[in-house]
Each structure stands twice: as structure tokens, then as C-alpha cells.
Structure 1
Amino acid sequence: MRQALTRRGLLGTATGALALYGSGAWGQPAPVPANPVALNIIDVAGNLQLTQASIERFARENPKIVSRVTFSRAPSPELPSKLKAQQQADKVDIDLVLTGPGALSDGIQQGLWIDVVKAHAAGLPKLDEIYHPQALMMQKNFGQDQGVAVVYSPSGPLFEYAPERVKSVPRTAADLLAWVKANPKRFTYARPVNSGPGWTFLMGIPYILGDKDPTDPMGGWDKTWAFLKELGTGIDYYPAGTGATMKELGEGTRDIIVTTCGWDINPRALGIVPKEAGIFALEGTHWVPDTQFMCIPKGVQAEKIGALLALMTYMLQPQQQAATYDKGYFYPGPAIKGVTLAMAPEESQAVIKEFGRPIYDELIAKLPTVVPLSPEKLVAAFRRWDQEIGAMAK
């Protein structure tokens, strides 16, 4: 059995990534800046909860590469236009973007990202060798050379509910629709373009309903769009982000919400949602996995590329990946092979032991995993949802 790593143990191994990077153990070295550079990192996916401590540790341990790191956060839908404006003005001040599928897809569509995997493969680990199969699938089908996967979750769609208020738990899509109609304003989900649970729900419903072509939101989702419109008759509004749905469930203004593995565990661990909240999956559920990526915008100063590649390499080290178990926020979290919960910080192990669910292992083994929509199709699905579903909220 591997010995569990404490946070102190993780700190002790912090310099290892740079040593590996320079030795070529994870890939051939790329030029590092002649002088330390300042890095501006923006998070549009909540990723810093999983990675900020490791990024800061990298900077502390490598002062010859990084002089300082500045962090900022923004809603995912706002980033592409902001970044495009900077690129058109030739004044890009964002060096690294931590993003989920929304901004990644928009950025691919608009040509905002450097093809970092293709252009700088020599400065990165051999991704085909280090990712576990599910993360590698997401990297190939979703990252498209323009994002480097840093965390992975089988995600959802799942549903979270208050057992003291929901006595008959829906088992099918028809059951859920009937429950929502009988209990108006007691169910909601967040706008998919800015919500992990929202977008897994959007992409998962075609499989649950047995739609004509779950991979074609424009031509193959007739049942899905009809279902979502009918479901919307019992929904008063769609929150802008997932956090609001969790708060409403915890406060008692909602009885059922859409969730994912991480969004179930973490808010209960933080006390936002009662520990006793239950979860269920509908018949026909397929896992729609979620992955968060590191992307370098076009227009970043050339001298910063080497530092960013070194940081990316560091973030894919086992010790840093073990830290992504966190407090269950993106459960399980690691994107590379061989990183077990026993390697995670003791605090993470304690949280997962208390707030994790044995049923997750059962569901992960039992339910099939599907490839999410390609970026261009996902953007089209988001746009159609905004126009036909979100705009119709009462």
C-alpha cells in the first residue's frame, strides 16, 4: 500500500517537478525565461480551489522562473469576448486560463488559444502515457491540442434532493417531469454554459430519453428540446451558476436540483447543503464526464511560454494531482494514472470518508461513459438552450 502524503509531504516534493522538467523525464526541456516573469492566471471554472496552492508552491520553489503570480476569476461566458478584445488590441494581459468546457469551446471556435500540445509537445509530459483512459479521452476529443487537462470527474448528471421533503424519488425522466409539474418552483438547474451540473444535464438528457442522435443537438435532440421546454413550465428561473442552486437547496427553497459527484460532496462538506441530502440517477443515465483545462491565449509574451510549460508539467506531477481530491469539489479529481485517495492530503481523505458516497463506486462501474459534444456542437447547444429554454423562464 502506498503511504499517504500529508500536506507537509507535498510541500517537501515541490521542487521535484522542475527537476523532472529539466532532466527530460517528463518530456524534453523547453526554454525557460532568462529572467523571472510575472504570470497572470484567470479562473473561469472554480479550478483554483483545486490548484491554487500548487501553483503558488511552484512559484515559491522556482523564483528564477516566476517572480509573482496574480489570480483573478470571471464567469465563463464573459471570458472569450474579453480575451478577443485584448488580442485585437495586441494587449493580452492574461497568461493562463483555467477553464471548463464552456470557455474552452468558445475559445476553440474563435481561435483564441495557442495549439500548445502540438506546438510545444517537447515541453510537456507525454500526455498519452500519463493520463488515465477517461482523461485521455477528454484530452483528445475536447482539449484538441489547445487545452491541457488538469483535473477529471465522471461528473453526472445526478440529482440531489431533500429526503425530508421528497418522499417519492423520481426514477425515470417521466417521473421527474411529473414531479416538477406537481411541485412548481421546487426544482431548478443552473444555466448550462456557466455550470458543470448544468452542462452535464444538458448533454445527458438525450441518452436518458433515448433521443435519435445524442451527439447532434441541432438535428438529433427532438425529444430533449421538447422535454426541457415542458420541464421549464415548472421552473421559475435558471440561476446563473451552480452555487445558487446549492444555496437554495440548503435554505429549503428548492427540493431537487441537478448536481454532479463533486457538487454533491463539497457543499455538504462546507455546510451549504445538509449532510443528509440524498442523490439519485435516472434510468438510462450515461456519465458525461467533466474536465478542466489549462489554456494559453494567443498573444502571450513569448518569454512566458517556457514558464507556463514548466508550470503545466508541474501540475501534472502525481503529488500535485493528489491534492486535487481537495474537499471533493471535483471528485475524484486526478487526471493522471495511479493517483489514489491514499496519496491525497489527510484532510482530503477525511472529507471523502465522511461525505463521499459508496454508491459512487457502484455507479462509476455500472454506468457507461460517453464522449461529450465536440466544442462546436456544445457551443451550438448552449446557444440554443439560451434562446429556447433560458429565455422562456417565468
Structure 2
Amino acid sequence: MKKKWYQWLAAGAAALCLTGALAGCANKASAEKTKKAAGPSTVTLWAGGSDNVRESMEAIVTAFNKSENGKKYKMKLEFIMSGGGAQSLSSRLLAAKKTNQKNTKYDLILMSDGSFSSYVKEGGKDFFTAYKESNVPNAKNVKTKVSDGKGVIMPYRGTTVVLAYDSKRVPKPPKTTQELYTWIKSHPGRFAYNTPGSGGSGSSFVQSSLYNFLPEKALSDSDPKWQKEWNKGFDLLKELHPYLYKSGGKVVYPNKNQGTLDLLANGEVDMIPTWADMTITNLANGGLPETVKLTQLAPAFTGDVDCLAIPSVGSNPEGAQAVMNFMISKEGQQILLDKMAAIPVVDSSTLQSENSKRLAGLDIDHFRIISIGDLGSELTAQWDRQIGTLAK
């Protein structure tokens, strides 16, 4: 019996719906396949500093990509060596923000908590993207506080400049900065600090020499008025200048943090200001003799709480938060402690390392943090004019 026209129409419509449904399923399956083929999204971390920082961040990248996180995100590292244009990172970030760039590869950066105010001052309050505690559950274990930017920047390690000395030649090291200055004058040529523009340890020595004459509040104030109070500090540095390390009969200020460490390792000097983590790394790998010890002075040299921050111009804030969460996890903190003797921001009793013994007595909560914004660059420029020229 022949079907009536409306029966054929109904049958055709049903077939069309089925075809559409199948096509929809095919498209969905194709989309899922394409998404799967695309693999994990890339999250790029930008970091700067000395070689020990680079090695540590490379270890973090490897561990992160091998973890469960690696199934969803692929972490990459962009590293800028200390003294080789680190300032250009902040310049590029600010340029990207001011030109309204979006979806750049500046997903996550390392920075000190002291530089937060400078970024925000130049780039606006929305320069960084706040992290969500639900995406960074390990944040509840972080004991270290930041001076500014709570809820936006995440501390991941502590670092400070200390006095390193060869105990074989200096059995009784100075305990105060005044005792250090007296020792320098009593032992001509046996102390060195690197140019402040080439590394943080030399910068810390210079900053401490100036700011020890100022009230404590000046350490966290970028008001240009404090420049008028720098004279006593610069006079002190001029007074110390003739007693510093010499080569060829002239005072020499080494280049970079490693420059002073090399002098100490070779026995050309007996004492230097140096980053605690960098020195411990050199002790662990045999780069320094075992007779080298660390001590903190009173008042202490300045240091930093190093943090992670998510620039708003980045393209992968979710991936950035996953990396942030990993770096403050027990696994991440263990890597940083083992690789660079980073002072943990979590309960250190949960971590075990040979470096823990060398870090004993260094309490991050009692570090002196300096946050003076653009005054830091001006201070370095003035050192170049007033002190650096004395060596020529």
C-alpha cells in the first residue's frame, strides 16, 4: 500500500532530524578530538636573577610538567640573567599594559614584595590579577606575610643578604655593622662588595649603609625627601673606600654577586656581603671552602620576600595559579630548599634537607625588607657618581 504524502513528509523530517543529530555528534566528537590533540595549554613563568635561581626554576618546570598539573598545563620558563637586562622585563610589562595588550605570554612573574608598589604606581591598580584561594589551596599553609599586595602576590621563598667570612682567617666575625666597619679599616684590602647596579648583595650593603642612619619607616617609603638624608651614608662609603679590595694598586668593586663570591673562594678577601641562598648553594657544590660561614649583623642587611604575581596582560591566569599552588606545595618548597637553599615560606619542620642545617638561625620574620620604589635606581645612580668614580 502506498504511503500518503504526509507520511512521506513525516518520514523525511525524522530522517533529517536523525541526520542532524548524527552530524551534531560528529561535530562534538571532532571538537573533543581537536581539543585533545591541542594538548595542555602553555603557562609561561618569567624569572630573573643569578644562575642558582635559573637552575631552581628549571627544576620546578620539570617537576610541574611531570605532575598531574602537566596533563592540563605545560609550564615554560623565560629567564633573564642578573645584570643582563632584568629591568627590561618590568619595562616590557608596563608597555604592554599601557598599550592595552591582551593575551601576552607574561602569565606569571617572580618579583620581590617590595617592588609591588612600583608596578602598581606605574601600571595602575589592575596591573596584576588577584588569585582565587579556591585555585591556590596551598595558600593556607603559607606562614610568611607580604608587606603589600595581600591576595595578589604570593610569597614563595625568603632571601636575605648576610655576612660571609672565612672562619679560618676570621675566627671572631663582627656582630654589628659598626664592628664590621672597624674591621674593614683594620684589615685593608680584605673586604669587598660588588657594584650595586650589578647585583643585589652589593646593593644591599650600600642601602644598609645609608638607611642605618635613617628611621626604620624610611625603609618602606619612596618619598624623594629621603634623598636629602643620604649624605651620612655616602660619607661612610667614601671613608671605607680606601680600605677595600685592591687589584693593581687600585680599589676594585667586583661585578655581580658571583664576583665577590669568587674573591672569597680564592682567598683574595676574607669577608663579603652575600645572598644567603647563593652562598649556601656554592658551599653545597664545593664552590666555596667549608671554612666559609654565614652570620647576620645588627642591624641586619636588607633582604627580600620573593613572590609570584599574575600580570593582567597574561593569557593563562588559571595555569598561573596552578603553578603558584605547586611552588608553595611541599614538593615545590622541597625543590627550592634543595636546589637553592631558599628559606621556606611554609612550616620548615615538614621539610628535610642538608641545606636546612646551613639555614639554621635565619628567621625570615626578622629580615629587614626595603621597599623604596624609584629611589632604589636613584640611589644606585648616585653611588656610580660618588663612589664608583673613586675607583678610576
TM-score by length of 1: 0.69
Q: Secondary structure at the match of 2:253?
A: coil
Identity percentage of aligned residues: 22
CA deviation after TM superposition for structure 1 residue 275, in Å: 0.8
- Of residues 277, 280, 285, the one that matches 1:270 is 285
Unmatched 5+ residue regions in structure 1? 1-33
* Equivalent in the alignment of 2:141: 130
Task: Name the counterpart of 2:195.
Answer: 191
Q: Closer, same or farther in 2 for the Cα pair 1:379/1:335, shift >3 Å?
A: farther
Q: Deviations over 1:292-347 (max 9, x none)?
A: 1223334222xx111111211222223322332115533xx2113x232x533xxx
Distance 2:306 2:389 in 1: 28
Bigger Rg, structure 1 or 2: 2
1:148 lines up with 2:154 in the alignment = yes
How far, CA to CA, are the matches of 2:75 and 2:123 in structure 1? 28
Distance in 2 (alpha carbons) for counterparts of 1:392 and 1:67: 50
Aligned to 1:66: 73
**In 1: Cα distance, 2:277 partner to 2:120 partner:** 26
Deviations 1:81-112 (A, max 9, x none): 34445556748443322234686665444328
Q: 5+ residue gaps in structure 2? A: 1-37, 219-225, 245-250
Q: State whether residues 276 and 294 of structure 2, in contact with CA within 8 Å, keep that contact through their aligned partners in structure 1.
A: no
1:96 maps onto 2:102 in alignment: no
**1:145/1:388 CA distance change after superposition, 3 Å:** farther
Seen in structure 2, the aligned counterparts of structure 1 residues 232 and 86 have a Cα distance that, compared at 3 Å, is: farther
Identify the residue that residue 293 of structure 1 maps to in structure 2.
Answer: 307
SS in 1 for 2:291: coil
Structure 2 counterpart of 1:251: 266
Q: Distance in 2 between matches of 1:69 and 1:98?
A: 14
d(CA) in 1 for partners of 2:366, 2:335: 27
User: Alpha-carbon deviation of 1:143?
Assistant: 4.6
Task: Supply the distance in 2 between the matched residues of 1:68 and 1:289 (Cα, whole angstroms).
Answer: 28
Change in Cα spacing, 1:318 to 1:279, as seen in structure 2 (3 Å) is closer
Deviation at 1:281, TM superposition (A): 4.0
- Are the equivalent residues in 2 in contact too, given 1:105–1:379 (CA < 8 A)? no
For 1:311, the aligned partner's letter is V
2:122 is the alignment partner of 1:110: yes
The 5-angstrom pairing of residues 141-220 of structure 1 reads 141-143=147-149, 147-153=153-159, 155-156=160-161, 158-166=162-170, 169-181=173-185, 183-192=187-196, 194-205=198-209, 209=212, 211-216=213-218, 217-220=226-229
Please report the RMSD computed on the Cα atoms of aligned residues, expressed in angstroms.
3.7
CA contact (8 A) 1:160 1:280 kept: yes
Deviation of 1:80 after TM superposition, in Å, equals 2.2
Match of 2:16 in 1: none
Distance 1:62 1:95, change over 3 A: same
Structure 2: distance between partners of 1:115 and 1:71: 20
CA deviations on 1:150-179 (whole Å, 9 max, x unpaired) are 1124x24x3222344447744554443344
Residue number in structure 2 paired with 1:372: 370
Q: Give the whole-Å Cα distance in 2 for the aligned partners of 1:281 and 1:192.
A: 20
Q: CA deviation at 1:231?
A: 2.2
Write the letter of the residue equivalent to 2:351. Answer: M
- 2:114·2:371 contact (CA, 8 Å) conserved in 1? no
| Shift in alpha-carbon separation, 1:295–1:43, aligned structure 2, 3 A | same
Deviation of 1:241 (Å): 2.0
Quick check: 1:190–1:239 contact (8 Å CA) kept in 2? Answer: yes
Matched pairs, number: 334
- 8 Å contact kept, 1:150–1:316: yes
| SS at 1:62 equivalent | helix
Q: What is the distance in 2 between the residues matched to 1:387 and 1:77? A: 20
